[in-house]
Chains A and B, each alone.
Chain A
Amino acid sequence: MKEWQSWPRFRYEAELDLRFPEEVASMPGGRALFACIQCGTCSGTCPLGTYMDYSPRKIIAMTRAGFKDEVLHSFTIWLCASCYACAVECPRKIKITDFMAELKQRAIQEGVYPKRFPVAVLAREFFDTVRKRGRSTESRLVLRLYAKTNPLKIFNQALLGLKLLRTGRFSLRAESVKNRQQIDQLLRAVDAVKATTFVDRLAREVHRGEVARV
Chain B
Amino acid sequence: MPETNGAPKIGVYVCHCGVNIAAKVNIPEVVEFARTLPFVTVARDYKFMCSDPGQELIQQDLREGRVNRVVVASCSPLMHEATFRRATAEGGQNPFFFHMANIREHVSWVTADEHKATEKAKALIAAAVRRVAFHEPLEKKRVPVHPHVLIVGGGIAGIEAALKIAEAGKKVYLVEREPTIGGHMAQFDKCFPTLDCAACILTPKMTQVRAHPNIKLLTYSEVESVEPYDLRNFKVTIRRKARYVNEDVCTGCGLCADVCPVTVPSEFDEGLGTRKAIYRPFPQAVPNVFTISRRGTPPCQAACSIHQNAQGYITLIAHGKFKEALDVILRDNPLPSICGRICTHPCTVNCTRGTVDEPLNIPGLKRFITDLFPDYKLPTPTKERPEKIAIVGSGPAGLMCAYELRQRGYKPVIFEAQPVAGGMLSVGIPSFRLPRDVITKEINRLKEIGIEIKTNTPVGKAITLEQLRQQYAAVFIAIGAHVERKLKVPGEDLPGVFGGIEFLRRVNLEGPFNLGERVLVIGGGNSAVDAARTALRCGAKEVTMVYRRTRAEMPADPKEIEAAEEEGVKMLFLAAPKTILGNKETGVTALECLKMKLGAPDASGRPAPEPIPGSEFVLSCDAIIVTIGQVPDIASLGERLGLETTTWGTFKVDDVTLETNVPGVFAGGDCVTGPDVVVNAMYAGKKAAISIDRYLNKLDMRAGREREGPYRTEYTIDTSGTPLQKQIPMPAIELARRRTFEEVHTGYTKELAIAEAKRCLDCGICCDCRLCATVCEAKAINYEMKDEIQEIVVGSIILATGFKLFDARRIPRYGYGKYPNVYTALEVERMTNSAGPTGGEIRLRDGRKPKAVGIIHCVGSRDRNYNSYCSRVCCLYSLKLAHLIKERTGAEVYNFYIDMRVPGKAYEEFYDRMLEEGIHFIRGRVAEVTDHAMTPDEEGKLVIRAEDTLIGVIRRIPVDMVVLAVGLEPQADADEVRRKFYISCGSGGFFLERHPKLAPVQTFADGIFIAGACQGPKDIQDTVAQAGAAAAEVLSLIDRGFVELEPNTAFIQEELCSGCKTCIPLCPFSAISFNSDKGVAAINEALCKGCGTCVAACPSGAAQQHLFTDEQIYQEIEGVLSYV
Given A50-B954, A57-B947, are A40 and B864 also a contact pair (CB < 8 Å)? no
CB of A89 within 8 A of CB of B949, answer no
B1067 adjacent to chain A (CB < 8 Å): no
B247 adjacent to chain A (CB < 8 Å): no
Partner of A38, one of B813, B864, B948, B949: B949
CB of B865 within 8 A of CB of A44, answer no
In Å, the complex CA distance between A91 and B927 comes to: 11
CB of A44 within 8 A of CB of B952, answer no
A contact residues, total (Cβ < 8 Å)? 18
B863 adjacent to chain A (CB < 8 Å): yes
CB of B813 within 8 A of CB of A40, answer no
Given A39-B949, A55-B947, A58-B952, are A44 and B927 also a contact pair (CB < 8 Å)? yes
A37 adjacent to chain B (CB < 8 Å): yes
A41 adjacent to chain B (CB < 8 Å): yes
In Å, the complex CA distance between A40 and B897 comes to: 10
B341 adjacent to chain A (CB < 8 Å): no
B946 adjacent to chain A (CB < 8 Å): yes
Given A40-B947, A43-B947, A58-B952, are A93 and B865 also a contact pair (CB < 8 Å)? yes
B928 adjacent to chain A (CB < 8 Å): yes
Partner of B864, one of A44, A55, A57, A91: A91
A92 adjacent to chain B (CB < 8 Å): yes
In Å, the complex CA distance between A89 and B945 comes to: 13
CB of A40 within 8 A of CB of B862, answer no
A45 adjacent to chain B (CB < 8 Å): yes
Tell me, rounded to whole Å, the shortest Cβ–Cβ distance linking A54 to chain B: 9
CB of A37 within 8 A of CB of B813, answer no
A49 adjacent to chain B (CB < 8 Å): yes
B898 adjacent to chain A (CB < 8 Å): yes
> In the complex, which residues of chain A have a beta carbon less than 8 angstroms from the beta carbon of B862?
37, 91
In Å, the complex CA distance between A55 and B946 comes to: 12
Candidate in B858, B863, B945, B947 with the most chain A CB atoms within 10 angstroms:
B947
Partner of A55, one of B923, B925, B945, B952: B952
As a 0/1 sequence over residues 15 to 40 of chain A, the CB contacts with chain B under 8 angstroms (1 = contact) are 00000000000000000000001111
As a 0/1 sequence over residues 31 to 75 of chain A, the CB contacts with chain B under 8 angstroms (1 = contact) are 000000111110111100110000101100000000000000000
In Å, the complex CA distance between A92 and B864 comes to: 6
B contact residues, total (Cβ < 8 Å)? 21
In Å, the complex CA distance between A57 and B862 comes to: 17
CB of B954 within 8 A of CB of A43, answer yes
B926 adjacent to chain A (CB < 8 Å): yes
In Å, the complex CA distance between A39 and B922 comes to: 11
In Å, the complex CA distance between A91 and B865 comes to: 6
Partner of A49, one of B858, B865, B898, B947: B947
In Å, the complex CA distance between A168 and B945 comes to: 42
Partner of A93, one of B864, B923, B954: B864
CB of B898 within 8 A of CB of A39, answer yes
Candidate in B813, B927, B954 with the most chain A CB atoms within 10 angstroms:
B927
Report B558-610 residues with CB < 8 Å from chain A CB. none
Q: Which residue of B lies closest to A58 (CB)?
A: B952
B312 adjacent to chain A (CB < 8 Å): no
B924 adjacent to chain A (CB < 8 Å): yes
In Å, the complex CA distance between A41 and B949 comes to: 10
In Å, the complex CA distance between A178 and B911 comes to: 70
CB of B954 within 8 A of CB of A41, answer no
As a 0/1 sequence over residues 923 to 949 of chain B, the CB contacts with chain A under 8 angstroms (1 = contact) are 111111000000000000000011111
Q: Which residue of B lies closest to A52 (CB)?
A: B954
In Å, the complex CA distance between A57 and B863 comes to: 16
Tell me, rounded to whole Å, the shortest Cβ–Cβ distance linking B795 to chain A: 45
> In the complex, which residues of chain B have a beta carbon less than 8 angstroms from the beta carbon of A38?
949
CB of B864 within 8 A of CB of A45, answer no
CB of B954 within 8 A of CB of A44, answer yes
Partner of A44, one of B858, B863, B899, B947: B947
As a 0/1 sequence over residues 164 to 175 of chain A, the CB contacts with chain B under 8 angstroms (1 = contact) are 000000000000
> In the complex, which residues of chain B have a beta carbon less than 8 angstroms from the beta carbon of A93?
864-865
Tell me, rounded to whole Å, the shortest Cβ–Cβ distance linking A33 to chain B: 14
In Å, the complex CA distance between A26 and B954 comes to: 30
In Å, the complex CA distance between A92 and B862 comes to: 8
In Å, the complex CA distance between A142 and B927 comes to: 35
> In the complex, which residues of chain B have a beta carbon less than 8 angstroms from the beta carbon of A39?
858, 898, 924-925, 949
Tell me, rounded to whole Å, the shortest Cβ–Cβ distance linking A160 to chain B: 27
Tell me, rounded to whole Å, the shortest Cβ–Cβ distance linking B273 to chain A: 34
Tell me, rounded to whole Å, the shortest Cβ–Cβ distance linking B942 to chain A: 15
In Å, the complex CA distance between A50 and B898 comes to: 20
Report A90-149 residues with CB < 8 Å from chain B CB. 91-93
> In the complex, which residues of chain A have a beta carbon less than 8 angstroms from the beta carbon of B924?
39-40, 43-44
Candidate in A40, A41, A43, A92 with the most chain B CB atoms within 10 angstroms:
A40
In Å, the complex CA distance between A46 and B953 comes to: 12
In Å, the complex CA distance between A209 and B899 comes to: 42
CB of B947 within 8 A of CB of A89, answer no
Given A55-B947, A93-B864, are A41 and B925 also a contact pair (CB < 8 Å)? yes
Tell me, rounded to whole Å, the shortest Cβ–Cβ distance linking B858 to chain A: 8
Tell me, rounded to whole Å, the shortest Cβ–Cβ distance linking B45 to chain A: 39
CB of B925 within 8 A of CB of A91, answer yes
CB of A89 within 8 A of CB of B813, answer yes
CB of B952 within 8 A of CB of A45, answer no
Report B829-875 residues with CB < 8 Å from chain A CB. 858, 862-865
Tell me, rounded to whole Å, the shortest Cβ–Cβ distance linking A8 to chain B: 16
CB of B946 within 8 A of CB of A40, answer yes
Tell me, rounded to whole Å, the shortest Cβ–Cβ distance linking B875 to chain A: 14
Tell me, rounded to whole Å, the shortest Cβ–Cβ distance linking B628 to chain A: 63
Q: Which residue of B lies closest to A85 (CB)?
A: B927
In Å, the complex CA distance between A70 and B317 comes to: 74
In Å, the complex CA distance between A3 and B244 comes to: 82
Tell me, rounded to whole Å, the shortest Cβ–Cβ distance linking A188 to chain B: 40
Given A37-B898, A92-B864, are A45 and B928 also a contact pair (CB < 8 Å)? yes
Q: Which residue of A lies closest to B927 (CB)?
A: A44
Partner of A57, one of B858, B899, B928, B949: B949
In Å, the complex CA distance between A38 and B862 comes to: 12
Q: Which residue of B lies closest to A61 (CB)?
A: B949
> In the complex, which residues of chain B have a beta carbon less than 8 angstroms from the beta carbon of A91?
858, 862-865, 925
Tell me, rounded to whole Å, the shortest Cβ–Cβ distance linking B938 to chain A: 15
CB of B926 within 8 A of CB of A44, answer yes
> In the complex, which residues of chain B have a beta carbon less than 8 angstroms from the beta carbon of A44?
924-928, 945-947, 954
In Å, the complex CA distance between A58 and B924 comes to: 12
Candidate in A43, A44, A46, A93 with the most chain B CB atoms within 10 angstroms:
A44
CB of B864 within 8 A of CB of A89, answer no
CB of A40 within 8 A of CB of B865, answer no
In Å, the complex CA distance between A41 and B864 comes to: 13
As a 0/1 sequence over residues 891 to 916 of chain B, the CB contacts with chain A under 8 angstroms (1 = contact) are 00000001100000000000000000
CB of B949 within 8 A of CB of A40, answer yes
Tell me, rounded to whole Å, the shortest Cβ–Cβ distance linking B921 to chain A: 14
CB of A89 within 8 A of CB of B898, answer no
> In the complex, which residues of chain A have a beta carbon less than 8 angstroms from the beta carbon of B925?
39-41, 44, 91
Tell me, rounded to whole Å, the shortest Cβ–Cβ distance linking A159 to chain B: 29
In Å, the complex CA distance between A93 and B865 comes to: 7
> In the complex, which residues of chain A have a beta carbon less than 8 angstroms from the beta carbon of B927?
40-41, 43-45, 89
> In the complex, which residues of chain B have a beta carbon less than 8 angstroms from the beta carbon of A41?
925-927, 947
In Å, the complex CA distance between A38 and B924 comes to: 8
> In the complex, which residues of chain B have a beta carbon less than 8 angstroms from the beta carbon of A40?
923-925, 927, 946-949
Tell me, rounded to whole Å, the shortest Cβ–Cβ distance linking B528 to chain A: 60
In Å, the complex CA distance between A45 and B947 comes to: 9
**Which residues of chain B have a CB within 8 Å of any CB of chain A?**
813, 858, 862-865, 898-899, 923-928, 945-949, 952, 954
List 12 A–B pairs whose Cβ atoms lie within 8 Å, in order of A's numbering. Answer: A40-B948, A41-B925, A43-B927, A43-B949, A43-B954, A44-B924, A44-B925, A44-B927, A44-B928, A45-B945, A55-B952, A57-B947
Known: A43-B927, A89-B813. 13 other contacts (CB 8 A): A39-B924, A39-B925, A40-B923, A40-B924, A41-B925, A44-B926, A44-B946, A55-B947, A57-B949, A91-B862, A91-B863, A91-B925, A92-B864
Which A-B residue pairs are the 5 nearest by beta carbons? A44-B927, A40-B947, A43-B947, A39-B925, A91-B863
